[in-house]
Amino acid sequence: MPRALDAEWRSLSFSALILRLILDYPLDDETPQSRLKQIGMMSVLYYMHQGNQRLTLTNIIEVTSLTRGGVTETIDRLVNRKILTEAMVKNSMGRGQAREFKIAPDIFKKLRSLQGG
């Protein structure tokens, strides 16, 4: 039981931190709708991260059923905020390049400091 509770607390802490980072620090050219999309996207990405899924555009599109443009617009804002990091990797076919994202290590550092560990 303690492990399940720990995971629940980590998930709630992550959501609260992301909410504060996005709502408390709006970018100049973004709308409230854009901020809500970013918060929702981070929930999906955290879920994917917890399931050890690669955070590529293709995988995110598959999970969300959003258009490539819709995913890219939101992801680019999160990269801009430094909530996500981006790297170019080989695509799943091994021939071309694909954008792969990770939740920024600083986010997990902030979480650990909030949790006292």
Digit-coded pLDDT (tens) for 78-95? 999 999 999 988 776 667
- What is the per-residue pLDDT for 58? 92
pLDDT in tens, 1-38: 456 667 788 889 999 999 999 999 999 999 999 999 99
Rg (CA), the chain: 15
Q: How far is CA 71 from CA 12, 35, 43, in A?
A: 24, 13, 13
What does residue 20 show for φ and ψ, rounded to 5 degrees? -65, -45
